[in-house]
């Protein structure tokens, strides 16, 4: 504010007015500033505190909920606390409101006083002190043009910077023409196999649903590859792979790959004859060079999935291929080279019209459900943590759940829409073992973390997981745990087989062998199969005690999990494919 | 003076009379003991007749035009401004206002086509019609957003004209963004980011209150920053005012070139007389203009391309894009808690894939709209460059009809007319 010019020494009314106005403006300005500061502080406090999230209140409510009978003292305490919270809230609101009025009043007084001060000290124009218009007129226009050009260029640069630095961080749906509405469900053009049909076959890694449980009771318990005892046939697989066989009807599928080529093989389950072999075609996005993988993982670690006349294979370079029963490629897509330091190994799982692809990576991981007919994405959800495990599809009391394990947690999704249903953080390290399920409980176990039993409860519309127990004494590295009845079975890479009480984690029995287990144990009707890395099998009855039914021998390195059907077992060793059959079933 | 006081008092009474019936929101206690909740009694809605609003808008603009063109009185302009501030600002709480009505009207053309109530249409058109006849009299005293800034502009200074030209482009950008918001279904951005409505309602989002506060504090010295550098409706009023039939002038008679008014306008809305001698040969200026005209397609193409490139950033204005990113982040485990939006989404039947597909459709729409936005801005820049390159000879100090807010500050500085009451 300009002070009155001191031309007149006499203290005039204007001087008095100026001083008074400046005083009032200063005081009201300081007052307004203080009120504004208090309002901001009050606002921030209110933001930080939610009266309904008061921990004491929540604890009291929890106690009340858990109390077997209504506790009147607790009720009164909660009411009193609730009343206090409400009083505090409304008092705070009143303070804010009052503060707003005070601030408004203060600012109005300040502005009026400031205006009076300005009026008491009018700014007198001094044309003589201004530069001649001729001097600045053209220069001003020229400078304005320059500055305008410069700022225009700056805006374009800002747009370029925005383009460079902005990435919309959600999974972009692929191949969807503009304006086409999103698909929620795919209209079934054919009847999909029901659960009973799937159980008659072996459609995915660890069987139907992918949690290691089959229905047949007549599978052999004794065989010897060296002598040929109970061996129906053997077949060579041209390219290496650690994936397990899957089969539908009389067709068995495996895949094989090296750094240069990727192939799918179909065998006749009766004769072991290779019906066809199909090289995976190059797809849009297929990398020119295969990614680096761990030798033990290889380029064809994920087990294929099959449903009737469609078989699906995924390879280490992200190529996903669907073939029909004759080996004709129906569709294929490259999912992007997996950012995976050991190599991608999660197996595929097909159910109804959907093919589930667990694509856990170090970054940009995802779980996708693809239409099995077209390969089109039905839904995709991002996955934050890498893993090498395979999904399981479980029909629970709360509906079907797609359960995935990562190196950090277990998450269940609605298989139809991909909505996350529940999740538990209970894992660590590098997890390759899938989940087990029995009697409403999920089980996960992996080395360098714990074996964990998870019970799912319902709270309104929400599924709430509850950790029932955790156990850490003998944990698997590659072989997935198996839950059967009241027991959980764990086969470790050190050669241990442990049976735990599924409800309490109490050890029922413990057996130790020379070789470790990479192949996952499988329950078939009334017995459990476990095959160690050297191809020695252990067939035992599930239960409180260890009852060995057979010790079959392959004599070849075996890491894949067998496929089981009515009376037969198909095992992939490092060297060949072996079909085992009960003697009384081999008459044909 | 008496009349002016009476007007202000009436407006103040209207505001204070409206403070009853405020409603607080707090979650209802949870009762499980058979307690019957009393029936909530909401106060009856208090409606102001649209006729009153329109009559006041028209009346106040007519009075302002009279005060500016006939009375040449800034004090009357200030008085009417205070009345508008209390009525359209604090009493009507900043709504309805022509600035926001712009969106309703354009929404018919490029948005979802929702019908516009007559009141809104009138509010949009009336100030423009007045601008075509009398200049920006709406900005002078009737716009509550302008009024609150004008009230705070107690020590205004002139900023360099070069800066004025550049900063003025932000208003075009804001107008373009508002249109982009309509086309893409993002919403009414002008209303969403109204910095002053929080003051009128004595409450609002913290960020917008802070933004409004900062603008008002800046406005103490750089008068009306929102009106000059941001107001999207101001762009339209500027265009209309350029063609105004009658407009306020610095001097009511012949300019004597005393230069007293040269620094009087804090909005740089007084054009200096064109010097007789040019700084460069006429041929050079003509060549520059020719280049500028020839460069128009290039400027438009570059601006359009820049718009397309920037569309991912712009698309983050849309709530669906934000929600998709939030849901994706939640599913990655980046957040431990839910927002209100993501909680509502999880409770819905929509799947993430559907949301992502929806977001992608929105993004595609943004790509097209951003190109148009870029072209619009390119044209605005190009037009202003051309304007700065075209010489219109003017021997006197004249009002810049587009930029002048008809505030009447300059009247008191002109010695040609009979001295009027001086205002700050």
Dump pLDDT digits (tens) for B281-334: 888 889 999 999 999 999 999 999 999 999 999 999 999 999 999 888 877 667
ipTM: 0.85
Contact A141 B388 (CB under 8 A): yes
β-pairing, B270-271 vs A441-444, is: unpaired
Minimum Cα–Cα distance from A150: chain B residue = B166
Instruction: Give the pLDDT mean for B367-378.
Output: 96
Q: How many CB atoms lie within 10 A of CB A181?
A: 10
Radius of gyration of chain B, Cα coordinates, nearest whole angstrom: 25
On chain A, the residues whose CB falls within 8 A of the CB of B306 are: 155-156, 159-160
The more confident residue out of A405 and B27 is A405
Q: How many CB atoms lie within 10 A of CB B381?
A: 23
Measured CA distances, A391 to A107, A195, A210, A369, A387 (Å): 64, 17, 7, 12, 11
Contact B155 A36 (CB under 8 A): no
How far apart (Å, rounded) are the C-alpha atoms in residues A568 and A558?
17
Are A457 and A575 within one domain? yes
What's the pLDDT score for residue B333? 65
Residue A18 DSSP SS3: helix
Spell out the residues 6+ positions from residue A26 whose beta carbon is closer than 8 angstroms to its own. none
Among A89, A104, A123, which residue terminates a domain? A123
Domain ranges, residue A423: 197-585
Residue A78 DSSP SS3: helix
Minimum Cα–Cα distance from B414: chain A residue = A125
Instruction: Write out the H or E segment, with its range, that includes residue A438.
Output: strand A436-438
- Decide: A455 and A410 in contact? Cβ < 8 Å: no
β-pairing, A213-214 vs A522-524, is: parallel
pLDDT mean across residues, chain B: 87
Instruction: Write out the H or E segment, with its range, that includes residue A145.
Output: helix A133-165
Are A434 and A569 within one domain? yes
Peptide bond into B74 cis (omega under 30): no
- Decide: B73 and B63 in contact? Cβ < 8 Å: no
Count CA atoms within 13 Å of residue A329 on its CB side: 16
- 397-416 of B, contacting A, C-beta below 8 A: 413
Count of domains observed in chain A: 2
On chain A, the residues whose CB falls within 8 A of the CB of B202 are: 97, 100-101, 104
Termini Cα distance of chain B: 17
On chain B, the residues whose CB falls within 8 A of the CB of A159 are: 306-307, 309-310, 374
Whether A166 is covered by a domain: the verdict is no
pLDDT digits over A344-395, tens only? Answer: 999 999 998 899 999 998 888 899 999 888 888 888 899 989 999 999 999 8
What's the pLDDT score for residue B254? 86
Are A208 and A73 within one domain? no
Radius of gyration of chain A, Cα coordinates, nearest whole angstrom: 36
Percentage above 70 pLDDT, chain B: 86
- Which of B312, B328, B381 is nearest residue A166 as measured by Cβ atoms? B312
Q: How many CB atoms lie within 10 A of CB B282?
A: 9
- Which of B162, B346, B352 is nearest residue A144 as measured by Cβ atoms? B162
Among A90, A123, A156, which residue terminates a domain? A123
- Decide: A82 and A57 in contact? Cβ < 8 Å: yes
- Which of A159, A169, A172 is nearest residue B310 as measured by Cβ atoms? A159
Count CA atoms within 13 Å of residue A67 on its CB side: 13
Whether A176 is covered by a domain: the verdict is no
- 3-62 of B, contacting A, C-beta below 8 A: 22, 24, 26-27, 29
How far apart (Å, rounded) are the C-alpha atoms in residues B80 and B103?
26
- Decide: A495 and A455 in contact? Cβ < 8 Å: no
Contact A145 B360 (CB under 8 A): no
- Decide: B135 and B161 in contact? Cβ < 8 Å: no
Sheet strand arrangement including A563-565: A231-236, A576-581, A568-572, A563-565
Whether A7 is covered by a domain: the verdict is no
Are A400 and A538 within one domain? yes
Measured CA distances, A425 to A448, A465, B334 (Å): 14, 10, 14
Instruction: Write out the H or E segment, with its range, that includes residue A422.
Output: strand A420-425
Q: How many CB atoms lie within 10 A of CB A95?
A: 14
Nearest CA among B214, B391, B56 for reference residue A40: B214
B50 to chain A nearest CA, in Å?
28
How far apart (Å, rounded) are the C-alpha atoms in residues B46 and B132?
35
Query: B333 touching A, CB under 8 A?
Result: yes
What's the pLDDT score for residue B339? 83
Are A86 and A220 within one domain? no
How far apart (Å, rounded) are the C-alpha atoms in residues B48 and B53?
8
Are A201 and A56 within one domain? no
Are A93 and A227 within one domain? no
- Which of A133, A183, A379 is nearest residue B275 as measured by Cβ atoms? A133
Regions of chain A where pLDDT drops below 50: 1-2, 176-189, 586-588
- Decide: A380 and A367 in contact? Cβ < 8 Å: yes
- The dihedrals phi and psi of B355, each to the nearest 5 degrees, come to -60, -45
Q: For chain B, give the secondary structure using H, E and C.
A: CHHHHHHHHHHHHHHHCCCCCCCCCCCCCCCCCCCCCCCCCCCCCCCCCHHHHHHHHHHHHHHHHHHHHHHCCHHHHHHHHHHHHHHHHHHCCCCCCHHHHHHHHHHHHHCCCCCCCHHHHHHHHHHHHHHHHHCCHHHHHHCHHHHHHHHHCCCCCCCCHHHHHHHCHHHHHHHHHHHHHHHHCCCCHHHHCCCCHHHHCCCCCHHHHHHHHHHHHHHHHCCCHHHHHCCHHHHHHHHHHHCCCCCCCCCCCCCCCCCCCCCCCCCCCEECCCCCCCCCCHHHHHHHHHHHHHCHHHHHHHHHHHHHHCHHHHHCCCHHHHHHHHHHHHHHCCCCCCCHHHHHHHHCCCCHHHHHHHHHHHHHHHHHHHHHHHHHHHHHHHHHHHHHHCCCCCCCCEECCCCCCCCCHHHHHCCCCCCCCCCC
Instruction: Write out the H or E segment, with its range, that includes residue A64.
Output: helix A55-66
Instruction: Write out the H or E segment, with its range, that includes residue A565.
Output: strand A563-565
Q: How many CB atoms lie within 10 A of CB B157?
A: 11
- Decide: A533 and A516 in contact? Cβ < 8 Å: yes
pLDDT digits over B77-94, tens only? Answer: 999 999 999 999 999 999
Whole-prediction pTM value?
Answer: 0.59
Are A262 and A113 within one domain? no
Are A104 and A243 within one domain? no
B45 to chain A nearest CA, in Å?
22
Q: Using alpha carbons only, what angle is made at residue B236 by residues B231 and B242, rounded to the nearest 5 degrees?
A: 120
Are A117 and A201 within one domain? no
Minimum Cα–Cα distance from A151: chain B residue = B166
Query: B287 touching A, CB under 8 A?
Result: no
Minimum Cα–Cα distance from B150: chain A residue = A111
DSSP state of A296: T
Among A89, A123, A157, which residue terminates a domain? A123
Minimum Cα–Cα distance from B388: chain A residue = A141
- The dihedrals phi and psi of A541, each to the nearest 5 degrees, come to -85, 140
DSSP state of A467: E
Whether A131 is covered by a domain: the verdict is no
Nearest CA among A505, A478, A11 for reference residue A205: A478
Query: For residue B54, is pLDDT > 60?
Result: yes
On chain A, the residues whose CB falls within 8 A of the CB of B302 are: 156
On chain B, the residues whose CB falls within 8 A of the CB of A167 are: 312
Nearest CA among A21, A497, A12, A490 for reference residue A212: A490
Minimum Cα–Cα distance from A44: chain B residue = B206
CATH assignment at residue A315? 2.130.10.10
β-pairing, A451-459 vs A462-471, is: antiparallel
Q: Using alpha carbons only, what angle is made at residue A241 by residues A235 and A242, rounded to the nearest 5 degrees?
A: 105
On chain A, the residues whose CB falls within 8 A of the CB of B168 are: none
Contact A172 B261 (CB under 8 A): no
How far apart (Å, rounded) are the C-alpha atoms in residues A73 and A77?
6
On chain B, the residues whose CB falls within 8 A of the CB of A78 are: none
- The dihedrals phi and psi of A413, each to the nearest 5 degrees, come to -125, 150
Are A300 and A210 within one domain? yes
pLDDT band at B276 (very low <50, low <70, confident <90, very high): confident
Range among A383-387, B126-130, B257-261 with highest mean pLDDT value: B126-130
Are A337 and A446 within one domain? yes
- Which of A111, A119, A143 is nearest residue B151 as measured by Cβ atoms? A111
- Decide: B371 and B307 in contact? Cβ < 8 Å: yes
How far apart (Å, rounded) are the C-alpha atoms in residues B273 and B396?
5
On chain A, the residues whose CB falls within 8 A of the CB of B366 are: none
Beta bridge partners of A579: A233, A570
What's the pLDDT score for residue A187? 40
Contact A168 B377 (CB under 8 A): no
Spell out the residues 6+ positions from residue A211 whose beta carbon is closer than 8 angstroms to its own. A392, A394, A434, A435, A436, A437, A480, A482, A483
Whether A155 is covered by a domain: the verdict is no
- Decide: A164 and B306 in contact? Cβ < 8 Å: no
């Amino acid at each position: 504010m300009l002070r009155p010019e001191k031309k007149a020494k006499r203290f005039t009314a204007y001087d008095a007015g100026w001083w008074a106005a400046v005083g009032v403006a200063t005081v009201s300005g300081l007052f307004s500033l203080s009120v504004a500061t208090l309002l901001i502080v009050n606002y921030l406090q209110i933001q930080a505190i939610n009266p309904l999230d008061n921990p004491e209140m929540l604890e009291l409510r929890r106690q009340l909920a858990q109390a077997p009978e209504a506790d009147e003292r607790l009720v009164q305490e909660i009411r009193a606390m609730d009343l206090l919270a409400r009083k505090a809230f409304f008092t705070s609101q009143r303070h804010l409101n009052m503060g707003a009025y005070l601030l408004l009043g203060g600012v109005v007084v300040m502005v009026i006083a400031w205006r009076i001060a300005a009026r008491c000290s009018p700014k007198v124009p001094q044309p003589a002190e201004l530069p001649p218009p001729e001097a600045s007129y053209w220069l001003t226009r020229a400078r304005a043009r320059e500055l305008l050009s410069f700022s225009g260029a700056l805006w374009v640069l800002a747009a370029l910077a925005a383009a460079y630095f902005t990435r919309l961080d959600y999974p972009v749906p692929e191949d969807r023409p503009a304006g086409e509405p999103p698909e929620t469900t795919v209209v079934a053009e054919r009847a999909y196999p029901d659960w009973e049909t799937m159980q008659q076959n072996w459609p995915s890694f660890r069987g139907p649903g992918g949690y290691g449980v089959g229905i047949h009771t007549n599978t052999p318990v004794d065989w010897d590859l060296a002598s040929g005892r109970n061996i129906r046939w053997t077949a060579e697989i041209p390219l290496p792979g650690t994936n397990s066989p899957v089969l539908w009807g009389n067709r068995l599928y495996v895949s094989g790959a090296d750094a240069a080529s990727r192939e799918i093989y179909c065998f006749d389950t009766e004769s072991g004859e290779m019906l066809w072999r199909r090289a995976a075609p190059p797809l849009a996005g297929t990398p020119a060079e295969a990614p680096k993988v761990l030798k033990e993982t290889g380029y064809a670690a994920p087990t294929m999935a099959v449903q009737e006349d469609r078989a699906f294979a995924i390879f280490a370079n992200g190529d996903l291929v669907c073939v029909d029963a004759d080996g004709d490629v129906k569709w294929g897509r490259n999912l992007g080279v997996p950012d995976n330091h050991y190599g991608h190994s999660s197996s595929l799982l097909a159910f109804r019209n959907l093919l589930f692809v667990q694509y856990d990576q170090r970054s940009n991981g995802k779980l996708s459900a693809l239409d099995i007919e077209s390969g089109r994405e039905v839904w995709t959800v991002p996955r934050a943590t890498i893993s090498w495990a395979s999904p399981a599809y479980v029909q629970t009391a709360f509906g079907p759940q797609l359960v995935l394990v990562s190196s950090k947690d277990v998450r269940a999704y609605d298989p139809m829409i991909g909505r996350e249903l529940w999740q538990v953080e209970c894992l660590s390290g590098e997890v390759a073992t899938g989940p087990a399920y029995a009697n409403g409980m999920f089980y996960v176990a992996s080395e360098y973390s714990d074996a964990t039993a998870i019970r799912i409860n319902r709270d309104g519309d929400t599924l709430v997981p509850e950790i029932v127990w955790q156990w850490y004494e003998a944990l698997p590295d590659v072989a997935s745990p198996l839950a059967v009845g009241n027991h959980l079975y764990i086969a470790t890479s050190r050669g241990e087989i442990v049976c735990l009480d599924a409800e309490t984690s109490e050890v029922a029995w413990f057996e130790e062998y020379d070789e470790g287990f990479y192949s996952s144990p499988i329950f078939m009707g009334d017995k459990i199969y476990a095959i160690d890395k050297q191809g020695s099998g252990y067939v035992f009855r599930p239960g409180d005690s260890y009852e060995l039914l057979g010790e079959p021998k392959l004599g070849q390195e075996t890491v894949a999990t067998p496929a089981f059907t009515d009376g037969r077992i198909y095992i992939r060793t490092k060297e060949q494919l072996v079909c085992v059959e009960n003697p009384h079933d081999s008459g044909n | 003076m008496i009349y002016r006081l009476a007007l202000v008092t009436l407006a103040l009474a209207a505001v204070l009379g409206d403070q009853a019936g405020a409603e607080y929101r707090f979650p209802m206690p949870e009762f499980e003991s058979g307690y019957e909740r009393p029936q909530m009694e909401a106060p009856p809605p208090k409606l102001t007749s649209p006729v009153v609003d329109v009559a006041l808008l028209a009346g106040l603009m007519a009075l302002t035009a009279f005060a500016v063109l006939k009375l040449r009185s800034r004090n009357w302009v200030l008085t009417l401004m205070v009345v508008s501030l209390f009525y359209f600002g604090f009493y009507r709480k900043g709504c309805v206002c022509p600035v926001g009505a712009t969106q309703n009207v354009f929404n018919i053309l490029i948005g979802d086509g929702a019908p516009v109530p007559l009141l809104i249409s009138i509010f949009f058109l009336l100030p423009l019609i007045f601008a075509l006849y009398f200049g920006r009299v709406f900005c002078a005293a009737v716009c509550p957003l302008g009024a609150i800034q004008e009230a705070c502009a107690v020590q205004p200074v002139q900023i360099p004209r070069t800066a004025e030209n550049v900063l003025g482009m932000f208003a075009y950008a804001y107008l373009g963004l508002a249109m982009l918001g309509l086309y893409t279904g993002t919403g009414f951005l002008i209303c969403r980011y109204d910095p002053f409505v929080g003051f009128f309602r004595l409450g609002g989002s913290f960020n917008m209150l802070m933004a409004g506060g900062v603008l008002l504090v800046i406005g103490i010295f750089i008068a009306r920053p929102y009106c000059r550098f941001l107001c999207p409706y101001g762009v339209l009023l500027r265009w209309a005012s350029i063609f105004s039939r009658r407009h306020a002038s610095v001097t009511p008679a012949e300019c004597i070139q005393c230069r007293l008014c040269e620094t009087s306008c804090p909005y740089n809305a007084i054009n200096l007389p064109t010097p007789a001698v040019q700084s460069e040969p006429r041929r050079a200026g003509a060549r520059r203009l020719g280049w500028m005209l020839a460069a128009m397609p290039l400027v438009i193409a570059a601006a359009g391309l820049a718009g397309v490139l920037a569309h991912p950033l712009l698309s983050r204005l849309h709530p669906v894009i934000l929600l998709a990113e939030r849901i994706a982040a939640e599913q990655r485990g980046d957040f431990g808690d839910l927002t209100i939006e993501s909680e509502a989404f999880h409770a819905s039947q929509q799947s993430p894939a559907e949301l992502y597909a929806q977001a992608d459709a929105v993004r595609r729409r943004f790509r097209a709209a951003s190109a148009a936005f870029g072209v619009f801005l390119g044209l605005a820049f190009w037009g202003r460059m051309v304007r700065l390159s075209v010489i219109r000879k003017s021997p006197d100090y004249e009002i810049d009809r587009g930029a002048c807010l008809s505030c009447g500050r300059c009247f008191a500085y002109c010695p040609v007319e009979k001295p009027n009451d001086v205002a700050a």
